[in-house]
C-alpha cells in the first residue's frame, strides 16, 4: 500500500461532481484522507466554515461521517494548507482554462473533467472559442495535457501532470472504433455513421428549455449535427478526417446512460472471429471494457457502472458491421473515468474503487 494521497475536488455541486465525491470517499486507498471540497461559497456559509456535503448531496451522508465534510471557499492557500497533491476540476471549460495552469505552476497534478485541454488541433478547439487560445501560457499548458482515455494512453497517463478527461459521447465512440481503424480494416472512403443517444444528465445540472421535463419526457430529439464539440475528439483520437464520419447526438428521456450505434464498412470481408480477435487483442489489459460476444449491449447493463460495453453484428457479406457501445455518461463518461485516470497516474490497479 502506497502512502495516502490528498485529493481535492472543485465543482462538487454538479452531477459529475457528486459521482466523483462518492467514488473518492469510498476509494480504498483514500480512506484516511477524504477529499478537500472547494468552490464558490457565499459569506453566510463561509462564516460557518462552508456548506456540509449532506446539504448539497444528501445521498453522500453515511456512517463514516462523509456528510459532515464541507464545501469550503476555494483558495490556493486552502489547497496548500491541506497538502493537496491531485486536483480534480469538475468545472466549466473557461474556469479550467484559468485554473489548470495555476495549479500546475503550484506543483499540483490536475485531472480536468471539462473540455478545456482535450484538443490538440486549434481548428478543433475553435468550437469552444477560448479567449486565451494561441497565448504562450495556453500553448505550454496544452503541451502537458494527456487525453485521459486509459485504454489508449495508459503509459502517458502514468507520468502526466495534466489529464484531460474525455467527453462522454467521445468515449462511447472512440473505444469501439479505434481498434478497427488502427487495424486498417475500415473503409473510411465509405464513411462511418455514429448515431449516439444520451440521458438528460449529459447536459449538466443547470436547467435549460431542452432538458426541461415537459420537453424531454416522452420525446427523442437530435441536436448538434456536424457541430457537436465532441467531434474534434473523435477525429484526433480515432485518427480520421471530418469527411469520414457523421456523428449525430440525440437526447433520450432517461436520467443517465449512452447508447452509440455505429455503422461501418470494411475494405475486405471479415468474419465474426476476425473482428472479435481485434477487439480482444486491443482491450486485453483494459478491465473497464466489456466485450459482448453474442448479445448486444444495452444501457441498463452499464448504467451506474464504470464499464464501457461493446458488441457487434456482422452482415452476411462480411463487409458491413453494426457496433453498439454503451456506458454511463456520469461514470465511464466522466467521474469514473477520472478516478480510473487517478489510479493509472498513481500506479494503483486501474479498476480499484470502480468495480
Residues with a catalytic annotation lie at: 168
- Please indicate, yes or no, if residue 195 is contained in any of the structural domains: yes
User: What is the per-residue pLDDT for 1?
Assistant: 44
What cell was used for 303?
A: 448504467
- Does the residue 350 lie in any domain? no
78 lies in the same domain as 181: no
Supply the CATH number for residue 158's domain: 3.40.50.720
Backbone phi, psi, residue 303, to 5°:
-60, 140
Is the same domain home to 161 and 36?
yes
The pLDDT of residue 2: 55
Residues 6+ apart with CB under 8 A from 50: 37, 41, 70, 71, 72, 73
Residues 311 and 265 in one domain: yes
**Percentage of residues of the chain with pLDDT beyond 90:** 91
pLDDT at position 36: 97
* pTM, to two decimals: 0.95
Residues of the chain with pLDDT under 50: 1
For residue 116, the enclosing domain spans 7-165+334-345
105 plus 57 within the same structural domain: yes
- Do 60 and 149 lie in one domain? The reply is yes
Q: Are residues 154 and 191 in the same domain?
A: no
Contact 104, 26 (CB under 8 A): no
Q: Which pLDDT score is estimated for 138?
A: 97
For residue 24, the tally of other CB atoms under 10 A from its CB is 26
For residue 355, tell me if it sits in a domain: no
Q: Name the β-bridge partners of 312.
A: 323
Amino acid at each position: 500500500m502506497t502512502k495516502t494521497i490528498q485529493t481535492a475536488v472543485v465543482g462538487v455541486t454538479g452531477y459529475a461532481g457528486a459521482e466523483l465525491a462518492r467514488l473518492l470517499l469510498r476509494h480504498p486507498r483514500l480512506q484516511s484522507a477524504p477529499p478537500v471540497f472547494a468552490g464558490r461559497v457565499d459569506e453566510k456559509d463561509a462564516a460557518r466554515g462552508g456548506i456540509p456535503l449532506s446539504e448539497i448531496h444528501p445521498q453522500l451522508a453515511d456512517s463514516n461521517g462523509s456528510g459532515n465534510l464541507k464545501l469550503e471557499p476555494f483558495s490556493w492557500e486552502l489547497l496548500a494548507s491541506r497538502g493537496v497533491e491531485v486536483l480534480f476540476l469538475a468545472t466549466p471549460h473557461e474556469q479550467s482554462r484559468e485554473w489548470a495552469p495555476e495549479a500546475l505552476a503550484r506543483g499540483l497534478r490536475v485531472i480536468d473533467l471539462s473540455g478545456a485541454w482535450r484538443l490538440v488541433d486549434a481548428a478543433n478547439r475553435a468550437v469552444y472559442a477560448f479567449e486565451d487560445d494561441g497565448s504562450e501560457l495556453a500553448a505550454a499548458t496544452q503541451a502537458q495535457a494527456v487525453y485521459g482515455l486509459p485504454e489508449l494512453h495508459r503509459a502517458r497517463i502514468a507520468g502526466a501532470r495534466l489529464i484531460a478527461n474525455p467527453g462522454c459521447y467521445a468515449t462511447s465512440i472512440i473505444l469501439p472504433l479505434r481498434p478497427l481503424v488502427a487495424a486498417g480494416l475500415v473503409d473510411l472512403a465509405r464513411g462511418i455513421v455514429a448515431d449516439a443517444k444520451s440521458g438528460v444528465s449529459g447536459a449538466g445540472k443547470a436547467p435549460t428549455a431542452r432538458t426541461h421535463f415537459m420537453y424531454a419526457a416522452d420525446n427523442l430529439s437530435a441536436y448538434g449535427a456536424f457541430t457537436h464539440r465532441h467531434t474534434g475528439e473523435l477525429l484526433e483520437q480515432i485518427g480520421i478526417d471530418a469527411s469520414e464520419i457523421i456523428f449525430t447526438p440525440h437526447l433520450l428521456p432517461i436520467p443517465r446512460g449512452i447508447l452509440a450505434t455505429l455503422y461501418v464498412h470494411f475494405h475486405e470481408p471479415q468474419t465474426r472471429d476476425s473482428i472479435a480477435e481485434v477487439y480482444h487483442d486491443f482491450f486485453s489489459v483494459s478491465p473497464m471494457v466489456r466485450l459482448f460476444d453474442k448479445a448486444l449491449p444495452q444501457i441498463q447493463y452499464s448504467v451506474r457502472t464504470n464499464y464501457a460495453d461493446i458488441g457487434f453484428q456482422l452482415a452476411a457479406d462480411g463487409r458491413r458491421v453494426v457496433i453498439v457501445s454503451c456506458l454511463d455518461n456520469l461514470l465511464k463518461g466522466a467521474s469514473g473515468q477520472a478516478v480510473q485516470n487517478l489510479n493509472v497516474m498513481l500506479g494503483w490497479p486501474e479498476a480499484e474503487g470502480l468495480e
